[in-house]
Amino acid sequence: MVTALLYGLGTAVPLLVGAAIGLRWTLPRALLASLMAFGSGTMIAAVSSELFAPAFHQAGVLIAGAALFAGAGVYVVANHLIETRLGPAAIGWALMLGTILDGVPENTALGVSLTAGGGLVLLVAVAVGNVPEAIGGAALMRREHDFERARAFGLWAATGAALVLVTVLGNSLADNLSPTHISTVQAFAGGATIAVLADSLMPEAYREGGWWVGMATAAGFLVAFVLQD
């Protein structure tokens, strides 16, 4: 339980730090783009190694694939609804939505994976990915939607608290979940993460940083991959 709490805090604290930075300062576009791209690389490694691969090997392509598409579909539809209502300025809300939709199943999977002694790569990937998501999302909420800083930070703090809670709950319920249920959660989290990367995080990184952000993405992937060994 204590370990799950610490892992949950390990994903929530970077989120709050990123939100505070985004609400207080305007970072250089190149730096923000690099952070987003680096976080994208770590999340790509985590999806393949910590989320979808174990789900695929345990539950098979039908169950794991269905859960993957379900996770992606939930994010894509929700993101589309936000963009339809708010227009191009919705990217800040979209990044926050992505943090919630991929963070909840990811942190649930993180809590579950602790029972088998794993989760380090996923922890690093989520933590690193949360920083630029929160910086970018909070900054855009402040600039485009004229949010009060206290209100915006409160929303991100509530998101962080939810991530800690689901990590602890996932760890507590792990013994009562079947391997197939665990695999479904993992694959769903992987699908939501892929959709966040494709729809929000990576396009925004490219828009802000240009063609060279691919190098930062590769660096993030390498760091996460090395942590697996």
| Burial call 148-187: b when 16+ CB within 10 Å, e when fewer | eeeebbebbeebbebbbbbbbbbbeebeebeeeebbbbbb
> Residue 60: CB partners within 8 Å, gap ≥ 6?
none
Which pair of structure tokens corresponds to residue 145?
A: 């939607």
Q: What's residue 86's pLDDT?
A: 62
- Average pLDDT value for residue range 178-206: 88
Those residues with Cβ within 8 angstroms of residue 18's Cβ, 6 or more apart along the chain or in another chain: 130, 131, 132, 133, 134, 135, 138
CB neighbours of residue 16 within 10 Å? 20
- Residue 198: CB partners within 8 Å, gap ≥ 6? none
The tens digit of pLDDT for each residue in 36-73 reads 899 899 889 888 888 899 899 999 999 999 999 999 99
Six-digit token string for 74: 């939930």
Choose the most confident range, by mean pLDDT, from 75-84, 110-119, 211-220: 211-220
Q: pLDDT value at position 87?
A: 62
Share of the chain above pLDDT 90, in %: 26
pLDDT of 191 strictly over 60:
yes
Query: Hey, how many other C-beta atoms are within 10 angstroms of the C-beta on 222?
Result: 13
Distance CA(28)–CA(135), nearest Å, equals 12
* Choice between 181 and 140, residue whose per-residue pLDDT is larger: 181
- Tell me the per-residue pLDDT of 128-167, one tens digit each, with 9 for 90 and over: 878 877 887 788 777 766 678 888 898 889 889 988 998 8
Residue 91: the pLDDT is 60
Q: Angle between the 149-173 and 120-145 helix axes, to the nearest 10 degrees?
A: 160
Please answer whether residues 44 and 222 qualify as being in contact, where contact means their C-beta atoms are separated by less than 8 angstroms: no
pLDDT of res. 16: 94
Per-residue confidence band for 10, with pLDDT thresholds at 50, 70 and 90: very high
